[in-house]
Amino acid sequence: MTRTILHVDMDAFYTSVEERDHPEYRGKPVIVGADPRGGRGRGVVAAASYEARRYGVHSAMPISRAWRACPQGVYVRGDMEKYAEVSGRIMEILGSYTDLVEPLSIDEAFLDVSAICLPARGGALASEIKEAIWQKEELRASIGVAPNKFLAKIASDLEKPDGLVVVAPGAELEFLGDLPIERLWGVGPKTAEPLRRAGFRRIADLWGLSPSDPRMESMGLSGKHGEHLLLLARGIDDRPVVPHHEPKSIGHETTFAEDTDDPERVRKTLLALSDAVAVRLRKHELEGKTVTLKFRDESFATETRAHTLSLPVADGASIFEAAMGLLDRIRWKGRKVRLLGVSVSGLSKAGEAGQLSLFDRPEKVVKNEKLGRARDALEARFGKGTVSRAVILENKCSNKR
């Protein structure tokens, strides 16, 4: 059966939410991210409006560079809780059309509407969804409609913002042929370089290749990766829309306002990050076994270290203890810290890993988890930040003085 797949992608989501809530921002270059501090700021750009992109500002750019490129921009500190709430309402709108909704991120999702919509009506249904989002949230979305996920994802990106592109069944090759090879999933700059050297610039240029072609190996495309790439080049993608993806990891990171070599400040920061990760683990009723530390110094050199625990945890103290052990493995004496990050992977539903009883877990872990859940309950009732560790609160107070 020919499927009808939609890819819904919100246009400049974070900045669009800010422009909706602050009409005075409209038409201006809006940049969501860290405080630029007049070009001396730390951190990165989380999102840039289309007006800001005309100045060369883009997500993941250092905020200091963004300021130099666009000092007249409107710089806004992001509000992830607000964006998550808006995203939840948008996903509810999408879920009102089909149960087969696969969120990819906070601002995009695949929908399989094959059961309610013939391919010929895909464009009309997409228009209806775009209008529903606008009427309920005053936000614009771009939608791609196609027989599979790969084609729908490309289509949604071609006429942004407020775009609607339909790839009819049978028109896959016509749609793909003239697009650059970089449009193929899995073809980044490193993969594209040998392809272009060999004369493959458009997707259509790949149609004459087969998995057994000796040129495939010379371009680093041997094996299943190469086979998959050639299938995508012909518009073939049989992957289903999967409604629920369990997260593979949960993490937090922070960029210091100024590079620091203060061990106590680093320790307190790791503690705060570990607590933040633990809160999210408990919120999703998850626990994890592998703790990963991300360390970046003043020269932007980045190192990661990971450690797998014997038992899964969801308490900040256990995560912090592992993170500190990983920090000890990094030779950072004589270096200043720019960024720290903590994440937990190897996730499982709380209590499912081996069906451990309370008596199988170390007493201090059980105690810390109980304290964490008590803290969660207090913050749910009285607001975020109601409860804080004394050492972190002391640090905040000393900073204010």
Q: Do 207 and 261 share a domain, yes or no? A: no
Percent of the chain with pLDDT over 70: 87
Tell me, yes or no, whether 51 lies in a domain.
yes
What pTM was estimated for this model as a whole?
0.73
Give, in degrees to the nearest 5, the angle at Cα 345 between 340 and 349: 135
Q: Do 48 and 133 share a domain, yes or no? A: yes
Reading the block at residue 204, the tokens are 């259509």
Structural domain for 151, as ranges: 1-168
Give the pairing type, strands 249-260 and 108-112. Answer: unpaired
Tell me, yes or no, whether 241 lies in a domain.
no
Tell me, yes or no, whether 240 lies in a domain.
no
Contacts of 311 (CB under 8 A, 6+ apart): 289, 353, 356, 360, 361, 362, 365
Tell me, yes or no, whether 239 lies in a domain.
no
- H, E, C per residue of the chain: CCCCEEEEEECCHHHHHHHHHCHHHCCCCEEEECCCHHHCCCCEEEEECHHHHCCCCCCCCEHHHHHHHCCCCEEECCCHHHHHHHHHHHHHHHHCCCCCEEEEECCEEEEECCCCCCHHHHHHHHHHHHHHHHHHHCCCEEEEEECCHHHHHHHHHHCCCCCEEECCCCCHHHHHCCCEHHHCCCCCHHHHHHHHHCCCCEHHHHCCCCCCCHHHHHCCCCHHHHHHHHHHHCCCCCCCCCCCCCCCEEEEEEEEEEEECCHHHHHHHHHHHHHHHHHHHHHCCEEEEEEEEEEEECCCCEEEEEEEEEEEECCHHHHHHHHHHHHHCCCCCCCCEEEEEEEEEEEEECCCHHHCCHHHCCHHHHHHHHHHHHHHHHHHHHCCCCCCCHHHHHHHHHHHC
Q: What is the pLDDT of residue 320?
A: 96
Handedness of CA 377, 380, 381, 382 (dihedral sign): positive
Q: Do 28 and 77 share a domain, yes or no? A: yes
Mean of pLDDT values over 6-18: 98
For residue 174, pLDDT beyond 90 = yes
Of residues 178 and 358, the one with the higher pLDDT is: 178
Q: Do 48 and 163 share a domain, yes or no? A: yes
Number of structural domains found in the chain: 3
Mean of pLDDT values over 157-186: 95
- 222 pLDDT band, cuts 50/70/90, is confident
**pLDDT, the chain, mean:** 88
For residue 255, pLDDT beyond 90 = no
For residue 360, pLDDT beyond 80 = no
Q: Do 267 and 305 share a domain, yes or no? A: yes
Q: Give tens-digit pLDDT for 40-64.
A: 998 899 999 999 999 999 999 999 9
* Burial of 280 (C-beta count, 10 Å sphere; 0-12/13-18/19+): middle
Tell me, yes or no, whether 244 lies in a domain.
no
Q: What is the pLDDT of residue 22?
A: 97
Mean of pLDDT values over 353-369: 56
Mean of pLDDT values over 56-85: 95
Q: Do 258 and 150 share a domain, yes or no? A: no
Q: What is the pLDDT of residue 371?
A: 66
Q: What is the pLDDT of residue 317?
A: 93
Query: Amino acid identity, residue 259?
Result: D
Tell me, yes or no, whether 77 lies in a domain.
yes
Q: What is the pLDDT of residue 358?
A: 46
Overall residue count recorded for the chain in this entry:
401
Contacts of 137 (CB under 8 A, 6+ apart): 20, 86, 89, 90, 93
Q: At what angle do helices 390-400 and 263-283 cross, to 10 degrees?
A: 130
Q: Do 316 and 224 share a domain, yes or no? A: no
Tell me, yes or no, whether 238 lies in a domain.
no
- 182 pLDDT band, cuts 50/70/90, is very high
Q: What is the pLDDT of residue 377?
A: 64
Which sequence positions are flagged as catalytic? Answer: 108
Q: What is the pLDDT of residue 16?
A: 98
Q: Do 18 and 101 share a domain, yes or no? A: yes
Which domain CATH number covers 267?
A: 3.30.1490.100
Q: What is the pLDDT of residue 216?
A: 83
Q: What is the pLDDT of residue 355?
A: 47
Mean of pLDDT values over 57-81: 95
Last residue of a domain, one of 205, 233, 261: 233
> Of the ranges 71-75, 136-140, 247-251, which one carries the lowest mean pLDDT score?
247-251
Q: Give tens-digit pLDDT for 135-158.
A: 999 999 999 999 999 999 999 999
Q: What is the pLDDT of residue 400?
A: 40
Last residue of a domain, one of 168, 194, 218: 168
Q: Do 206 and 262 share a domain, yes or no? A: no
Given a contact cutoff of 8 angstroms between Cβ atoms, the answer to whether 215 and 198 are in contact is yes
Which domain CATH number covers 201?
A: 1.10.150.20
Q: What is the pLDDT of residue 379?
A: 60
Q: What is the pLDDT of residue 219?
A: 85
